[in-house]
A and B are shown apart, each in its own frame.
Chain A
Amino acid sequence: MIESVLIFNQLGKPRLIKTYKQLDTATQQQLLREIHSLVSKRSDTLCNFLHGSQQLVGSSSRIVYRHYATLYFVFIVDSSESELGILDLIQVFVEALDRVFENVCELDLIFHFDDVHYILSEVVSAGMVVETNLAEISKAVNEGRRQKKPLPEPSRVGIGALRRGFV
């Protein structure tokens, strides 16, 4: 299964952290740092698979990543996943992002990080791939976004706002 999905930039700033095993906040941050230190120093001429040897990524896990412009998309998977398959999956995921955001860039991921979560959840759910068809993915995402449209801004939901009867 897929253990976690991380998106971060070259400096190691997180753009998305999704773990399919329960990890507390501090551990997630540690994982991020660990993976960033492993991945960021690899040049593009090296292969995109790494065997986990670190504390948080066990030796049976593999790190599959892709580097797009400023961002690293990292999937940590166990031995039951196909490396090449995951590599393709990352491509599918990024293409899905691109369809939804049109010419996706890092800023889209920053300002719509909730949307990125929703898109990811269409592709990967509970650590398993549920959909690899781009058309299906964007259909589901757009459905979700349509429901949100009435709001003036992306997802301005607040507890306080609810209490005071705004929104």
Chain B
Amino acid sequence: MNPLFFSPPHSPGILASPTSFRLRMFEKSLTDLIQGLRANKRNESEYISKSLEEIQNESAAIDKLNYLHMLGYDMNWANFNVVEVMSSAKFSEKRAGYLAASQSFNQDTDVLMLATNLIRKDLASTNFMEIATAELAMDLFDDVLAILGHSRPYIRKKAIACLYKMTLKHPEGLHDFVPQLKERLDDPDPSVVSSAVSVICELAHTNPRNYLPLAPKLYHLLNSSNNNWMLIKIVKLFASLTPIEPRLAKKLHGPLSSLICTTTAMSLLYECINTAVVGDIISVPLPVTDSIGREIDFAELCAHKLEVFYDSSDHNLRYVGLVTLAELQVRRPDLVVNQYETILRCLDDPDMGIRMRALQVISGMATRRNLSQIVKRLMSQLILSNTIALKPGNTEGGPDEDELESTPLIDPSGVSLVSAKGSFTTPKKAASSSEPNAADNPEYRLAAVEAIIDMCSRQSYANMTNFEWYVAVLVDLVYIAGVDVGQLLSQRILDVTVRVRQVREYSVRMMRQLLSDVRLTDFVSGESPHAAVLSTAAYILGEYCTLVPASCDDIGLLLFPCLRQLTSDQQAAFVLAAMKVYTNWLQDVSGYWNDEVWELVRSTNTTTMDSITSLFLGQEGDDLDVVVAELPLQVEGLLRSFIEITKAVSVATSNMSASEPPVCRELHSLFTMYELNPVSAAAQGKVPVPDGLDLDSWIGDEIPDTSLRVLPPPPPPRQTRAPAQRNYASKDHKANRKDQPLGMLPDVDSIPVMQLDLGDLATARPKPRKSDKPKKKKKSKSSKRHKKPTPEPSPPMVPVDIVGDEDMPDIPTKPLNDTPAQQPGSISGDTDNAGAEQPASPPQQH
């Protein structure tokens, strides 16, 4: 764009010509306007408004206006003049007028009536219009239809295109148009046929069924034509026709396979393969003879030819190749799976579109054997771009970059690198710096995280061989995802921990590590991406705290300073977990009671009380009761119980006693009396409603709906499904009554219904699985003696399912180096139990 470069390269010297000079005295030509515009780069808009004024007042050129219109200036005021020019007798003027009209007129243009008549007159000669309006279309339809039979093919092909536009606005015209169109398919001129095919494709795109009768003609064209453009169109059209008429598939088999074998045009080849795959023509059981005379399966031929595309160095071919490969994968996964290496290479493509496609394909081809390799690749992409993003200005004293590059990305021993080394800031910070790297694209990161999770947990963890590794991956993702996937990750962490008994201990340790990471817990709030993960971590730590050595430090982790910033459900999760951890610890230390332990219990109790006070009480001297009563309902009930516990402990330990006080020993059994087992999402429906229990009536007084205490609606009435219930009970719950989920205990009254305040603890848990806990749930449901019903938040229940033994690893593939924790035996050790429970909870894909 050199401003010195004024003169148009191919115009004869305009200033030299006397005619043009004479004209210039009165008006600026289009060329002048453009030159002037280019000369006035600095104040373009000023120049344009000046020119517009000139055009308006003195003399004007429609072309000039048209040019300015392209630059975004309105030219509607000149509509009448445009029609004037359109009516000129000179072809060139008329053409300029029509161009201007087709560019600027729309269906609201006021001079359309004039234009309509004019066009009708002109149609007798040559021209055509592209603006179509309902009125215009109706008026002119017959005129244009008449010229379809024009002697010149040029006019015929234009008329066909024009008529299509008109039928969009004037659908009644289709009746007359389609038969005519069919005739045009036999037109001697190839471009007319091509236009007709284009229009038919366009029409069939919206309503394929109506155009099935044209299939024989199109089929004939497919076999006879050599116009690649038209062939592409026809092939694409057949792709939309085959789903409606399955018999076409067999017909198309021949021509498509011969086209695929012979054509040299990549675009045509691609469309043929695409149609063969999408239209499911590959499943036609007819053999094809390939170029060297062998007979091969059509699907194999397609897969083979497709390789040329996605393995090409041309990005466009690679992109479309992957699109079709994804389709092929759906139908014939066996043909795709050996392309694993190629697809892995595509994952590193700089192009976002290609990467996303490759991601889609690769996640479909994950198997037990290659899972860890794929996940490692994806994780390294996430991690590397994060590292790059962190380079500027991050001086938090992590390991230097060389070290980062040389360290393995995922430490298979389970201690994830990122969480251990502390070199990564929170993803938010990382995401704020923008690198033009495709892996930094939030969309890609999200897709990558989802793909990892999908690959790992597909079909009840069918691909998983090492669950500890999976938990480590999830925890790493918390750090490196760089996008808000907290909800998803927390859900998956919970899912794997609950379903897979063997990973629980490891998971608890990882969760403890998460909770003790100040980079996550500092400044956390209900909205921050980590909040969901943290509250899940708290839940797991509380629920399974018996699996790891008890430590009173965990209480401090759970009652952390930013707790109050979380949402009330999350707060409740933390308080409950703290309570579980605390009582577990009390029980643990009661085992070796002595003076020292007594001192320790006393001091820990005081510390715990203090942390509660400082967390939930604003100032010294506030009445605890008053403050607690103002808390959200979920937190309130739990906190009251917690305070009761600390008070009881403080009373019991006020004096040194020879043996441990019973309260210390027994409190934890409140939470562990029944083991909490996963049940199928549908299990609740199979629970029979005890006689005399009306689930629709309120328990106690109706609670007014206030903003502070939002109660879920009362549970819907449950239908007793007799056969299902019988099945359920007889099949799975013979052996271990204790492990049975809610409702499998027929003698409801035998459940101890005491310690109401402590019972509240459990029912207020926000976690779905809580509702399965037999003891407490039963109480809240069956006893109407509750003075206040604890709300039972009912988030969508995570379908739970213990992985059956057939899904447990049988081959210790050792996906990563030195994996001491990976012991297949440790997972399959409990498979009897798991297998027994599976029928009750059919595997659910989610």
Which one of A9, A111, A136, A151 has the greatest number of beta carbons of chain B within 10 Å?
A: A111
B26 A160 Cβ-Cβ under 8 A: yes
- Chain A residues in 8 Å Cβ range of B88: 157, 162
| Closest Cβ–Cβ distance, residue A125 to chain B (whole Å) | 4
- Chain A residues in 8 Å Cβ range of B161: 125-128, 130
B9 A107 Cβ-Cβ under 8 A: yes
Specify which of A17, A110, A144, A156 is in contact with B29 (CB 8 Å cutoff): A156
For A149, give the chain B residue with the smallest CB separation.
B92
Q: Measured between alpha carbons, how far is A17 from B67 in the docked complex, in Å?
A: 10
Specify which of A105, A125, A154 is in contact with B158 (CB 8 Å cutoff): A125
Q: Does A98 contact B (CB under 8 A)?
A: no
Q: Measured between alpha carbons, how far is A112 from B29 in the docked complex, in Å?
A: 12
Contact code string A94-118 (vs B, CB < 8 Å = 1, else 0): 0000000110010110111110011
Q: Does B165 contact A (CB under 8 A)?
A: yes
Q: Does B271 contact A (CB under 8 A)?
A: yes
For A17, give the chain B residue with the smallest CB separation.
B70
Specify which of B9, B30, B267, B353 is in contact with A84 (CB 8 Å cutoff): B267
Q: Measured between alpha carbons, how far is A129 from B81 in the docked complex, in Å?
A: 31
| Closest Cβ–Cβ distance, residue B91 to chain A (whole Å) | 5
A153 B162 Cβ-Cβ under 8 A: no
For A30, give the chain B residue with the smallest CB separation.
B72
B350 A155 Cβ-Cβ under 8 A: no
Q: Does B66 contact A (CB under 8 A)?
A: yes
Specify which of B69, B267, B352 is in contact with A85 (CB 8 Å cutoff): B267
Q: Measured between alpha carbons, how far is A28 from B158 in the docked complex, in Å?
A: 25
B158 A117 Cβ-Cβ under 8 A: no
For A160, give the chain B residue with the smallest CB separation.
B59
- Chain B residues in 8 Å Cβ range of A18: 103
B26 A162 Cβ-Cβ under 8 A: no
Q: Measured between alpha carbons, how far is A82 from B230 in the docked complex, in Å?
A: 11
| Closest Cβ–Cβ distance, residue A61 to chain B (whole Å) | 13
- Chain A residues in 8 Å Cβ range of B59: 158-161, 163-164
B130 A126 Cβ-Cβ under 8 A: yes
B61 A49 Cβ-Cβ under 8 A: no
Knowing A11-B1, A24-B106, A85-B267 touch, does A160 contact B60 (C-beta < 8 A)?
Answer: yes
A-B contact count (CB 8 A): 235
B154 A153 Cβ-Cβ under 8 A: no
Specify which of B30, B78, B195, B232 is in contact with A130 (CB 8 Å cutoff): B195
B92 A147 Cβ-Cβ under 8 A: yes
Knowing A126-B130, A160-B26, A164-B59 touch, does A152 contact B236 (C-beta < 8 A)?
Answer: no
- Chain B residues in 8 Å Cβ range of A117: 99, 103
B5 A82 Cβ-Cβ under 8 A: no
Contact code string B51-80 (vs A, CB < 8 Å = 1, else 0): 000000011111110110111111100100
For A33, give the chain B residue with the smallest CB separation.
B72
Q: Measured between alpha carbons, how far is A85 from B26 in the docked complex, in Å?
A: 48
A155 B63 Cβ-Cβ under 8 A: yes
| Closest Cβ–Cβ distance, residue A63 to chain B (whole Å) | 11
| Closest Cβ–Cβ distance, residue B159 to chain A (whole Å) | 10
Q: Does B669 contact A (CB under 8 A)?
A: no
B11 A111 Cβ-Cβ under 8 A: yes
B26 A48 Cβ-Cβ under 8 A: no
A130 B191 Cβ-Cβ under 8 A: yes
| Closest Cβ–Cβ distance, residue B199 to chain A (whole Å) | 6
Knowing A154-B31, A158-B60 touch, does A80 contact B201 (C-beta < 8 A)?
Answer: yes
Q: Does B145 contact A (CB under 8 A)?
A: no
- Chain A residues in 8 Å Cβ range of B139: none
B84 A162 Cβ-Cβ under 8 A: yes
Knowing A14-B70, A114-B99 touch, does A47 contact B316 (C-beta < 8 A)?
Answer: yes
Which one of A28, A118, A152 has the greatest number of beta carbons of chain B within 10 Å?
A: A152
- Chain A residues in 8 Å Cβ range of B9: 105, 107-108, 111
Knowing A9-B1, A126-B130, A130-B194 touch, does A153 contact B29 (C-beta < 8 A)?
Answer: yes
Q: Does B696 contact A (CB under 8 A)?
A: no
Interface residue SS majority, chain A = mixed
Contact code string B316-327 (vs A, CB < 8 Å = 1, else 0): 111110000000
Q: Measured between alpha carbons, how far is A95 from B58 in the docked complex, in Å?
A: 39
Q: Measured between alpha carbons, how far is A13 from B41 in the docked complex, in Å?
A: 12
Number of chain B residues close to chain A: CB under 8 A: 93
Q: Does B730 contact A (CB under 8 A)?
A: no
- Chain A residues in 8 Å Cβ range of B236: 80, 82
A84 B271 Cβ-Cβ under 8 A: yes
Q: Does B487 contact A (CB under 8 A)?
A: no
Specify which of A46, A107, A113, A148 is in contact with B91 (CB 8 Å cutoff): A148
Q: Does B93 contact A (CB under 8 A)?
A: yes
Q: Measured between alpha carbons, how far is A112 from B66 in the docked complex, in Å?
A: 12
A84 B202 Cβ-Cβ under 8 A: no
Q: Does B501 contact A (CB under 8 A)?
A: no
Contact code string B92-107 (vs A, CB < 8 Å = 1, else 0): 1101110100011011
A128 B199 Cβ-Cβ under 8 A: yes
B34 A111 Cβ-Cβ under 8 A: yes
A25 B316 Cβ-Cβ under 8 A: no
Q: Measured between alpha carbons, how far is A49 from B14 in the docked complex, in Å?
A: 42
Q: Measured between alpha carbons, how far is A37 from B11 in the docked complex, in Å?
A: 33
Specify which of B26, B70, B270, B353 is in contact with A51 (CB 8 Å cutoff): B353
| Closest Cβ–Cβ distance, residue A107 to chain B (whole Å) | 6
Knowing A82-B267, A160-B58 touch, does A151 contact B92 (C-beta < 8 A)?
Answer: yes
Q: Measured between alpha carbons, how far is A108 from B9 in the docked complex, in Å?
A: 7
Contact code string A34-58 (vs B, CB < 8 Å = 1, else 0): 0000000101011111110000000
- Chain B residues in 8 Å Cβ range of A51: 353
Q: Measured between alpha carbons, how far is A130 from B196 in the docked complex, in Å?
A: 9
For B130, give the chain A residue with the smallest CB separation.
A126
A25 B267 Cβ-Cβ under 8 A: no
Specify which of A87, A89, A157, A162 is in contact with B63 (CB 8 Å cutoff): A157
Q: Measured between alpha carbons, how far is A108 from B7 in the docked complex, in Å?
A: 11
Q: Measured between alpha carbons, how far is A163 from B130 in the docked complex, in Å?
A: 27
Knowing A46-B351, A118-B99, A159-B60 touch, does A129 contact B229 (C-beta < 8 A)?
Answer: yes
Q: Does B20 contact A (CB under 8 A)?
A: yes
| Closest Cβ–Cβ distance, residue A148 to chain B (whole Å) | 4
Q: List 16 A-B contacts (CB under 8 A).
A: A14-B72, A16-B70, A25-B104, A26-B72, A48-B315, A50-B353, A80-B202, A82-B236, A84-B271, A84-B320, A118-B95, A130-B160, A132-B229, A158-B62, A159-B84, A161-B59
8 further contact pairs, Cβ within 8 A, besides A48-B315, A111-B8, A126-B165: A18-B103, A80-B205, A82-B232, A111-B9, A126-B130, A131-B157, A153-B29, A156-B30
> Which residues of B are at the interface with A, using a C-beta cutoff of 8 A?
1, 5, 8-11, 14, 17, 19-20, 23, 26-27, 29-31, 34, 38, 58-64, 66-67, 69-75, 78, 81, 84-85, 88, 90-93, 95-97, 99, 103-104, 106-107, 130-132, 154, 157-158, 160-162, 164-165, 190-191, 194-195, 198-199, 201-202, 205, 227, 229, 232-233, 236, 265-267, 270-271, 315-320, 350-354, 436
6 A-B pairs with the lowest CB-CB distances in the bound complex, closest first: A160-B59, A84-B267, A47-B315, A111-B8, A158-B61, A125-B161
